[in-house]
Amino acid sequence: MTLRLPQDVADYINKNGEGMTYGVLSIVETLRRHERYADMELRGRFTPEEWKFLADSLNGTMTLDDFRFTPSALVAHNEDSQLYDGTADKWVVDLAKLNEKVAALTATQTEALYRRIEKFWEHPEADLELWAQY
């Protein structure tokens, strides 16, 4: 495998002087650990109706870059979803309570929320009711 990386990225990967392969493996393992713990931290935070609201309102939405880590951007999305589509009413969600919970998320937890919803929509045959029990 050949990778073409900017020098600063290569330096970061090889910062411990262990070599590129070990550096990449270390970074990937650390990322996996961050993702796993962020996923666990989301469990029990939202009601099933709130998860359904989030899945419904984010369906087909690509959230990239820093927005993916910004709770206030998700709060704004939630408000727009209710304003333009009535999504909170549809799922009988108290939007103010949901947005309080979202605003309290860390950046990593916010990204985990997006990742969890994207995984759900990768399998549209999945049972929304079962998925929302998290």
What pLDDT digit, counting tens, does each position of 72-95 carry?
A: 999 999 999 999 999 999 999 999
Domain total of the chain: 2
Q: Span 107-130, mean pLDDT?
A: 95
The pLDDT of residue 1: 79
Average pLDDT, the chain: 95
Which ranges in the chain belong to alpha helices (H)?
7-13, 20-42, 48-58, 71-85, 87-90, 95-103, 107-121, 128-131
**Cβ–Cβ < 8 Å for 39, 69:** no
Q: Please indicate, yes or no, whether residues 18 and 64 belong to a single structural domain of this protein.
A: no
Q: Please indicate, yes or no, whether residues 72 and 29 belong to a single structural domain of this protein.
A: no
pTM attached to this predicted model: 0.90
Confidence class of residue 50 from pLDDT cuts 50, 70 and 90? Answer: very high
Query: In terms of Cα–Cα distance, which of 94, 91, 92, 57 is closest to 73?
Result: 57
**Residue 99 belongs to domain spanning:** 48-131
Q: Please indicate, yes or no, whether residues 69 and 17 belong to a single structural domain of this protein.
A: no
Confidence class of residue 124 from pLDDT cuts 50, 70 and 90? Answer: confident
For the cut 90, the answer to whether the pLDDT of residue 16 exceeds it is no
Q: Please indicate, yes or no, whether residues 33 and 54 belong to a single structural domain of this protein.
A: no
Phi-psi category of residue 60: left, alpha or beta, with phi > 0 → left and psi -120 to 50 → alpha: left
**Cβ–Cβ < 8 Å for 104, 84:** no
Confidence class of residue 53 from pLDDT cuts 50, 70 and 90? Answer: very high
The pLDDT of residue 119: 96
